[in-house]
Amino acid sequence: MCKFEIIVPNEKMPDDFGIAKLPTCGISDDPTPESQEYIKPGNIFVSQDYTLKIGDFGMARYNVERSLSPFLLNQGTESFRSPDRETEGASFHTDMWSEYRELINLCLNTKKSGVTIDNALDCHLFKITRPQILHYIVAIDIGSNCSTFSFTLSKHNSALKCKVKTLTVISLDKYGKLARFGDGARHDHNAIFSKYKMVLFNTESREKTMVKADNCNQIASVETLFTETLKYFKQTSLESLNDEYKSNVDPSQVLWVITVPDTSDNISKKAILLCAIKAGLCTIDTIKDSIRFVGESKAGAMDCISKTMDNQIKPEQQFLVLNLGRESSSFNVYKKLQNGFEIIDLPLFVDCGSNHCDIIFKNFLVDLLGITSNCDRLDQLVNKFKLIKESMAKDRCNDKGPIIIQFTPLEFAERINQRVDSKTPPNILYDRSRSTISIPFASFVEFFLNPIFQQILGHLKSEMNKNTFAHIFMIGGFSENYVLQQLIKKEFASTNVIVPQQPSLSVVRGACRLAICPSAQLNNTDSN
C-alpha cells in the first residue's frame, strides 16, 4: 500500500486531541458511524510522535459531499496533496486536500468533541513525505582489487543480471574528477589510484585520508575516490538498466545496495552515504529509502541458499560459507530457517587469501634473482604469476603441463646464471637460451599455492570441531581455483561442498537477492 507520513509538531495539536486512545488498527476506540462505515481499518495510524501514517484513501470508499468520479476516488493517495505544495489556482488538488482533511478528522474521531485539527494541518504542517516506489535494484560491490555490480527489477523472482568484475582502479583528471575506471584506467595518462577501499575502514581519519596516485604525486581523499567510483557505477548501471528494460531510468527509481566488509562500523557507513549523495545516487531527503548496506558474508550466504540450492538445505540445518578473497578469508556458520537464515557463531576472519600466494612467488623471485622487491620488472613477473593462478578454474585446469614464465634476459640473465643452481627448488628449471623458468604443475601448486591452501584447511577443521554443518559453500574469487576445490572436497568427503557458478560474483548476486526478498533485513541509514 502506498503511504504518506504527515508530521505535526506536538505543541500545535489541540490540547484535548486524544491520540493515546487510538488503537493500532488506526481508528479510535469509539468510532463515529461515518468512520465505521467508510474508513477501512489500518488506513490511518497515529503514532505517539504525532506522525499520521496515511494509506490508500481510494480503498476507503469515502463519499465526499462533492460528487467525485470513482476514478478519482480510486486514485486515492495519487491526488493527496496539501495546498501549499500546488501552484496557485490548482483548485482540484485543494479540493481533494479539503476532502481528505475531512477524512482524517473522521478517522481520528475529533468531530465528536467539536475539535478538529484543520488549523494544525493547514497552518502547521511542516513535512509531507511520500516513500518512493523503487522499481529497480542495483547492488554495487566495491572490492579491494576488483569491483562489479548487479541489477534486477524490484519484483520477486525477477531475473538478475551481473557484470563481469573489473579492477578497482580509478584515474582522476587534474581537477579530481573521474576520467576512467577499471582495466582501462591502468594505463591512463591521468593520475591513477588503486587499493583505496580498505583505507576507509582501517584508518582513523577515514574518508579524509589522503591517498597518493600510483603514477605521479597527485593526491586525493578517500572521500573523493569513493564518490567518483560511485559516480562510475551509477552511470554504467543506469546504462545497463536502460538497455535491458528499454526505459529511461532515473537514479531516484533505484534502490542502491552497497556491500561493505562484515567488520564495517557506523562511521564508515556514514562516510559512504555522504559519497552516495555527492555521486548523485540519492538526495539527503531520499537517502533513507534509497540506500541499503549489506555485509559481504550475509550477501554471499543469501546467494548460496537461493534458487535451486535452497532446496538442498532443510530448516534447522547448519551450513558454513567460506568466503575466500584476495586479501583475507572469512568463515561464517549459519542456520537455515523456514524463511531465511541466521548466523549462529561469531565469524572467523583470517589474513589468508589469494594475494598471499603472490607474496610467496615474489619472495622466491627476489631470492632467485637477488634483486630488490620494488623492481618494476619483478612486478611484471608477479602479474604473470597472478594470471596463471587465476586461470586455474575447472574448465581450464585439465592441462597440467609445465608452467612457463618468461622474462627479459638483459634484466636478469647474468644474475640467474650465478644463482639458479643453488637457489631454485628441485624440478624448477631455468632455460638460459629462451630466458624462461619452467615449473612443473605439481611443483607450482606445492611451492606457491599449497602453503595457503593448508592454512585454509586448518581453519576449516577448527570450525568443524566447533560446529556441526552438513554443507560448505565456497564463494569469493579464490574459490574459483579448481585445485583448492578438489582439495577441500577430498578433505571433507562426508560434507556436501558446493561451489556456486562464478563464486566471485556470489556477494553481488546475494546483495541484489536480499533486496528482493521481503524478509531480508538490510541495514539502512539508521543501522547500527
Question: How do residues 171-206 score in pLDDT, each as one tens digit?
Answer: 999 999 999 999 999 889 999 999 999 899 887 777
Whether residues 109 and 164 fall in one domain: no
Q: What is the DSSP letter of 523?
A: B
Q: How far apart are CA 205 and CA 124, in angstroms?
A: 42
Whether residues 251 and 150 fall in one domain: yes
State residue 39's pLDDT score.
36
Buried/exposed code over 464-489 (b: 16+ C-beta within 10 A; e: otherwise): beeeebebbbbbbbbbbbbbbbebbb
Whether residues 152 and 276 fall in one domain: yes
Q: pLDDT, tens digit, for every residue of 429-446?
A: 777 667 777 888 888 899
Exposure of 98 by Cβ count < 10 A (0-12 exposed, 13-18 middle, 19+ buried)?
A: middle
In a 3-state reduction of DSSP, which class is residue 501? coil
Taking the alpha carbons at both ends of the chain, their separation in whole angstroms is 28
Could you tell me how far CA 259 lies from the centroid of its own chain?
A: 3
What share of the chain in percent tops pLDDT 70?
Answer: 65
What string of DSSP letters covers 199-243?
Answer: HHHHSSSGGG-EEE-SSSS-EEEHHHHHHHHHHHHHHHHHHHHHH
State residue 9's pLDDT score.
37
Closest CA to 74 of 57, 91, 55: 57
Q: Is residue 251 very low, low, confident or very high in pLDDT (cuts 50, 70, 90)?
A: very high
Which residue has better confidence, 24 or 195?
195
**How crowded is the C-beta side of 391, counted as CA atoms within 13 Å?**
12
State residue 449's pLDDT score.
95
Average pLDDT of the chain is: 74
Q: How far apart are CA 56 and CA 407, in angstroms?
A: 71
Sequence-ordered list of residues with C-beta below 8 angstroms from that of 354, at least 6 positions apart, any chain: 324, 325, 326, 389, 452, 477, 478, 481
Whether residues 207 and 259 fall in one domain: yes
Whether residues 166 and 209 fall in one domain: yes
- Domain of 205 in residue numbering reads as 136-296
State residue 135's pLDDT score.
85
Closest CA to 502 of 264, 304, 253: 304
Whether residues 151 and 14 fall in one domain: no
Main-chain phi, psi angles of 31, to 5 degrees: -70, 150
Q: What angle do CA 23, 27, 32 make, to 5 degrees?
A: 130
For residue 519, being part of any structural domain is answered with no
Whether residues 381 and 443 fall in one domain: yes
Whether residues 93 and 236 fall in one domain: no
Q: How far apart are CA 528 and CA 525, in angstroms?
A: 9
Q: How far is CA 526 from CA 142, 287, 290, 292, in A?
A: 22, 11, 13, 10
State residue 398's pLDDT score.
55
In a 3-state reduction of DSSP, which class is residue 327? coil
User: Strands 169-172 and 178-181, how do they pair?
Assistant: antiparallel
In a 3-state reduction of DSSP, which class is residue 131? coil
Whether residues 149 and 114 fall in one domain: no
- Asked if the model's pLDDT at residue 116 lies above 50, the reply is no
For residue 243, being part of any structural domain is answered with yes
Instruction: Say how many domains are in the chain.
Output: 3
**Any idea how long the chain is?**
528
Q: How far apart are CA 60 and CA 56, in angstroms?
A: 7
